Amino acid sequence: AQKVTQAQTEISVVEKEDVTLDCVYETRDTTYYLFWYKQPPSGELVFLIRRNSFDEQNEISGRYSWNFQKSTSSFNFTITASQVVDSAVYFCALSEANSGYALNFGKGTSLLVTP
Amino acid sequence: DSGVTQTPKHLITATGQRVTLRCSPRSGDLSVYWYQQSLDQGLQFLIQYYNGEERAKGNILERFSAQQFPDLHSELNLSSLELGDSALYFCASSVAKGTDSGNTIYFGEGSWLTVV
């Protein structure tokens, strides 16, 4: 069963638009960690954020913000005023004790930002 | 630059062959992870080593094996290669045993393997 669901396979926006990438997870653990990684066309996986299950505070980092809601098991990622350089595949991942804390990735959302 | 170094970056080999992928973790990191990324399977966890010992196993085939050496670098050995093994293989590292310590897993740039 898929533990991390990223329902949006592809999103296309025009530069300067805001865009939200959805992530829904499934776990029975009370302690777990959620991550977002970015994979640009060059292929590397770039760490963006880590959030633990006890910290539901939203986080903002420049144009990036994250909304963690345990009630809906969601950890959504918003890019404000998108730029062409934001074009990439974005992965949400879950880490839980049941799986030895290995990262369990969603299928990814491919974001294309056009000028 | 994450600090995790993987070689080779690209590799083309024939079916039935054996290859070795190498990974140097970030300075100070004791854990090394291997992941496989393919179009049909997505990003799959293969195996983790912590300070030379195997710590966790994921969807790693019996034809694949890995080890972590005393200097903490790691190698992933893929044998009896099949067309379906063509994928991007990532190595990642972290300071602690896992994310339960609140630490982050950093990924290398990956090794592209093409089996023809």
Tens-place pLDDT, residues A24-60: 999 998 888 999 999 999 899 999 998 888 888 888 8
DSSP string for residues in A64-86: EEEEEEGGGTEEEEEESS--GGG
- Cα separation, B33 vs B66, in Å, equals 10
**Three-state secondary structure call for residue B27:** coil
CA–centroid distance for B61 within its chain: 13
The pLDDT value recorded for residue B6 is 97
pLDDT class of A1 with cuts at 50, 70, 90: low
The pLDDT value recorded for residue B113 is 97
> What are the residues of chain B with a beta carbon less than 8 Å away from any beta carbon of chain A?
2, 33, 35, 42-43, 45, 48, 55-56, 58, 88, 90, 92, 97-100, 102, 104-110, 112
Residue A15: CB partners within 8 Å, gap ≥ 6?
Answer: A82, A83, A84, A113, A114, A115
CB B41 within 8 A of CB B57: no
If you average pLDDT over residues B5-19, what whole number do you get? 97
Minimum-distance CB partner of B99 among A33, A42, A105? A33
Tens-place pLDDT, residues B24-60: 999 989 999 999 999 888 999 999 999 999 988 998 9
The pLDDT value recorded for residue A70 is 92
The pLDDT value recorded for residue B45 is 93
- Torsion, Cα of A110, B61, A32, A109 (10° steps): 0
The pLDDT value recorded for residue B99 is 58
Q: Identity (one letter) of the amino acid at B84?
A: G
Does the pLDDT value for residue A22 go beyond 70? Answer: yes
- The answer to whether the Cβ–Cβ distance between A33 and B102 falls below 8 Å is yes
- Is the bond preceding residue B25 a cis peptide, omega within 30 degrees? no
Tens-place pLDDT, residues B66-115: 999 999 999 999 999 999 999 999 999 988 766 555 578 899 999 999 99
The pLDDT value recorded for residue B100 is 58
Distance from CA of B67 to the nearest CA of A (A): 17
The pLDDT value recorded for residue B49 is 93
Tens-place pLDDT, residues A54-107: 888 888 889 999 999 999 999 999 999 999 999 999 999 998 876 667 899 999
| A32 DSSP β-pair partners | A96
CB A34 within 8 A of CB A93: yes
